[in-house]
Amino acid sequence: MPYITTSDGVEIYYTEQGSGQPILLSHGWPLNSDAWALELKIFADAGYRAIAHDRRGHGRSSKTYTGNDMDHYAADLNDLVEALDLRDVVLVGHSTGGGEVVRYAARYGKDRVAKLITAGAIPPLMLKTDANPEGAPIEVFDAIRNGVLSDRSQYYRDLAHPFFGANREGSLVSAGQIDDFWRQGMQMNVAAAFDCIAAFSETDLTDDLKAIDVPVFLAHGDDDQIVPVDAASKKAITLLKNGTLKVYPGRPHGIYGEYQRELDRDILDFIAK
């Protein structure tokens, strides 16, 4: 299996398919690069070099006890881009991965990044503060921490339902989709899972969004129960120099089914513009 080693000695697993302009995909919590399995094929079939990695602590990457924060995630992504010498790269980030690619683009990507795409992404800030009253209170994230520490196996099964909107009437989410969410979550070590909660909820990415010059496409479901659109992408779009926001009616946080098919078409259209 292909790995790169980061500047602080962490092994990052990645997978790739196809050739052409690179598309680098960053997954959400508690998932890994398997979440992008379909996109790897679709984007490769469309003539691109599609690459996805497992964030540190996730999937097949090193089970890290330290460095599970947005600064390290972005630095790891930079190490991967440098190791593969990716240029004119399109970044795609879902949920926490959206924060990762935004911080990477702002800090490291000036001469590397062509475009940036996020879906259900966390920027600018998930936590409710005096300056961010639309955010969620700390108790919401403390409950996630408790779920990870008390019975993470059951917690991931339970979380998958609002994640994919399986708790909504008429949902077509399969049992297999729920099982795969659980499988990916259980591949992450507890320390990384716990620390990443602070990373995705308490990292303020306001200045990062302001610093990005390349075209950005923000995709977000208006029935996202994990990262509500009003506190995330609808605020992020006001901070970008060159941003486009598309809100998908009735779509959840998790990417699957017809939402996945529509989003993938939109991503390819945005890249081709």
Domain 3-272, what fold? Rossmann fold (3.40.50)
Known catalytic residue at 95: yes
Mean pLDDT over 10-29 rounds to 98
Percent of the chain with pLDDT over 90: 99
User: Does the structure show a pLDDT above 80 at 174?
Assistant: yes
Mean pLDDT over 189-194 rounds to 98
pTM: 0.97
Known catalytic residue at 224: yes
**pLDDT for res 50:** 98
Measured distance CA(173)–CA(166) in Å, rounded? 6
User: Does the structure show a pLDDT above 80 at 1?
Assistant: no
Mean pLDDT of all residues in the chain?
Answer: 98
Burial 44-58 (b: 16+ CB within 10 A, else e): bebebbbbbbbbbbb
pLDDT tens digits for range 132-143: 999 999 999 999
**pLDDT for res 227:** 98
Mean pLDDT over 166-185 rounds to 97
Locate the domains of the chain by residue range: 3-272
Mean pLDDT over 9-32 rounds to 98
**pLDDT for res 250:** 97
3-5/11-17 β-pairing:
antiparallel
User: Does the structure show a pLDDT above 70 at 259?
Assistant: yes
User: Does the structure show a pLDDT above 90 at 105?
Assistant: yes
**Two tokens at 188?**
């992450």
**Two tokens at 215?**
């075209």
What are the DSSP calls for the chain, one per residue? --EEE-TTS-EEEEEEE--SSEEEEE--TT--GGGGHHHHHHHHHTT-EEEEEPPTTSTTS---SS--SHHHHHHHHHHHHHHHT--SEEEEEETHHHHHHHHHHHHT-TTTEEEEEEES---S--B-BTTBTTSB-HHHHHHHHHHHHHHHHHHHHHHHHHHHTTTSTT----HHHHHHHHHHHHTS-HHHHHHHHHHHHH---HHHHHH--S-EEEEEETT-SSS-GGGTHHHHTTT-SSEEEEEETT--SS--HHHHHHHHHHHHHHHH-
Measured distance CA(258)–CA(140) in Å, rounded? 29
User: Does the structure show a pLDDT above 70 at 73?
Assistant: yes
Mean pLDDT over 187-209 rounds to 98
**Three-state SS annotation for 100-112:** HHHHHHHHCCCCC
**Residue from 95, 161, 208, 220 carrying the catalytic annotation:** 95
**Two tokens at 102?**
């935004």
Q: 187 CB contacts (<8 Å, ≥6 apart)? A: 32, 58, 59, 60
**Residue from 62, 76, 224, 233 carrying the catalytic annotation:** 224
Question: How many CA atoms does the CB half-sphere of 63 hold within 13 Å?
Answer: 7
Mean pLDDT over 22-41 rounds to 98
Known catalytic residue at 208: no
